[in-house]
Amino acid sequence: MTKLLSYLFQILVILSGTVSLLKAQTVYSTSFNAGHGWTLNTFTNLNTTTEGDSPNIWYVSDNESNKGVGNIGGANCGNVTLHMGSTTAGDLGAAYDAGGCTNLGFGPCASCVANGLYCVQTDRSSLSPNINTTGITGLTLSFLYIHWGTALLDNAQIIYSINGGTSWILLGNLPKSGCCTGAATCGTGCTANATCTGTHQGKWTLYSSALPASCQNISNLRLGFRWYNDDVSTSGRDPSVAVDDISITTSVLPVRASLLQSAAGDDEVILSWNTYTEDNNKGFEIERAGDGMGFGKIGYLQPKDHLSSQNTYVYKDTTARPDQLYYYRYRQVDNDGRFNYSNIVSGEITSDQYVTVYPNPAASQVRFLFEHEQSQFTIELVDVLGKTVYSYTSDGSGSRNDHVVDLKNIPPGVYIYKVSGQAKPVAGKLLIVR
C-alpha cells in the first residue's frame, strides 16, 4: 500500500485562521498596582557600595503616584509606583534620607553611628521576574519615571540580565527628569519647570529605548533598577527615583499569513500556507522537531515575486521517516532581521492504511476503498491553493466499504485528498489527468 500521512493537526496558536505576523506585540508590562512579581531591595554583581546601617529602600505603594507624562509627583492619587524612600522616616514617596554624617564632621559611617546618628549610604536594586522573549526580536523598553539626585553619588541606573539574574549588565544611567514647582496634590499638574533643589517635586517623564540584541529570543530576560546614594548631604532630598507603567514591545512584522497545514504525499510530508500581505519579506525557514521541542532548520523558501496579493507556499519534507511523529513550523524572516513563528502542526508517515485510492492518476472517477466497512466518514479534495473542490459526508444510515467520486467537473491537476471518520484521519496526493 502507498504510505500515507496521518492527517493530524496540533495547532498551538490559533488567531481566527491566520498567523499574526503583522501586529505589534506587548511582550511584558506591569503597572505595579497588583501582582507585579518584582523582587525589592536585593543585590547584584553591580552593587558595589558598602551600605550604612540605615540605607534607603525601595517601596511599591501609592505614596508616589503616577499622574502621567508632564505632571507633578504626588501621593495617594490612585496609581501605585515603584520608588526609593527612607528607612528612618518610612515611605514618604520618592524622597530619600541623605544622612549627613560626613558633613557634620563625624567621618565615616562607623563614627557617625557611634555618635547616635544614622548612616544612610545605599546601593540596592529592584528586579523584575523572568521575561520570555523566545521567537521575538526588535524589543523596545518603555516606562514613566521621576529621577533626581544630589551630592556626590546619588543616582539611578537601568540594568538587565540575560541569564535569569545570575549576572547583571548596565543598560545606562537613568536621565534626570527635572522638577516642578507647585504643591504635590492629585489635581495639580506641572505648572512650571524648575531646578531640582531637594524640595521641589519630580516631573513624570517618558523613557523609551531599544534593548540590546542579546535580550531577544531568550526565556530568562530580567530588568532592574539600581539606586545608590552617599552620606554627604545634611538633609533629606526629594525626589529620588520612581518608576511606573513598564512595558517591553516588539516592532511590527510585515507578513500576514494563514495557518500552517500539513498533508500527505508518497513518502513525504507536504506543508502549505498562504500569505495575504507581504512587505519586506526575506523568506521562510522550515523547522522540524521530533518531540515538539528542539526545532531545527530543514529547509528554506524564498518569497514570491508578487508581494501584495495572496501567495501559496508549499514545502515537501522528503527526509521524514515512516511511523515517527514530527512537528513542523516555519519562521518568517524580515529583511531587517526581525522574525516570527507560525503555528505548529504535526504529522506522521505511516504504513497503517485503512483506505485505498484508485486509480491514481485518475481521469473520470476515483474510488475510495475502505479496509473495513464505515458508517460515518468524510472525504474532501483540496487544490494547491487550499480551496475545497469536493466534499462528501455520509449520513451514518448504513455501512459501506467504498465511495466513488465523479471527477468530470474537476479540472486536471494535483489535489490533496482527506479522509476522516471512525478511524484515524489520513490524507494523500491525487493526480487528475485528461
Each residue's pLDDT tens digit, 379-389: 999 988 889 99
Which H helix or E strand runs over 159? strand 155-161
Q: Are 154 and 223 in a shared domain?
A: yes
Give me the number of domains the chain comprises.
3
- Are 190 and 177 within 8 A, CB to CB? no
Q: What per-residue confidence (pLDDT) applies to 16?
A: 33
User: Buried b vs exposed e over 166-200: b needs ≥16 C-beta within 10 Å?
Assistant: eebbebeebebbbbbeeebeeebebeeebebebeb
Please give the residue that has the higher pLDDT: either 376 or 183. Answer: 376
Q: Are 80 and 143 in a shared domain?
A: yes
State the CATH number of the domain containing residue 290: 2.60.40.10
Q: Which of 4-8, 173-177, 224-228, 271-275 has the lowest mean pLDDT?
A: 4-8
Q: Are 192 and 312 in a shared domain?
A: no
pLDDT band at 328 (very low <50, low <70, confident <90, very high): confident
User: Mean pLDDT over residues 29-44, rounded?
Assistant: 92
Long-range contacts of 340-343 (CB under 8 A, 24+ apart): 340/19, 340/21, 340/135, 340/136, 340/253, 341/135, 342/13, 342/19, 342/257, 342/259, 342/260, 342/273, 343/11, 343/12, 343/13, 343/14, 343/19, 343/259, 343/260
**Ranges 267-276, 301-310, 312-321, 401-410, most confident:** 401-410
Residue 411 burial (CB count, 10 A):
10
Q: Are 366 and 412 in a shared domain?
A: yes
Residues 6+ apart with CB under 8 A from 315: 270, 271, 272, 284, 286, 299, 301, 330
Average pLDDT over all residues of the chain? 82
pLDDT band at 151 (very low <50, low <70, confident <90, very high): low
User: Mean pLDDT over residues 208-233, rounded?
Assistant: 91
State the CATH number of the domain containing residue 398: 2.60.40.3080
Q: Are 274 and 413 in a shared domain?
A: no
Q: Are 55 and 149 in a shared domain?
A: yes
Cα(427)–Cα(191) distance, rounded to whole angstroms? 71
Cα(287)–Cα(245) distance, rounded to whole angstroms? 37
Q: Are 83 and 195 in a shared domain?
A: yes
- Tell me which residue range forms the domain holding 317: 4-22+254-350
C-alpha cell at 3: 504510505
Please give the residue that has the higher pLDDT: either 309 or 394. Answer: 394
pLDDT > 70 in the chain, percent: 87
* Residue 12: pLDDT over 50: no
* Residue 176: pLDDT over 70: yes
Please give the residue that has the higher pLDDT: either 343 or 368. Answer: 368
Closest CA to 278 of 315, 311, 313: 311
State the CATH number of the domain containing residue 139: 2.60.120.200
C-alpha cell at 299: 529547509
Q: Are 105 and 210 in a shared domain?
A: yes
Structural domain ending residue among the three candidates 250, 268, 298: 250
Structural domain ending residue among the three candidates 303, 322, 350: 350
User: Mean pLDDT over residues 247-266, rounded?
Assistant: 71
Structural domain ending residue among the three candidates 302, 327, 350: 350
C-alpha torsion sign, points 190, 82, 160, 213: negative
* Residue 410: pLDDT over 80: yes
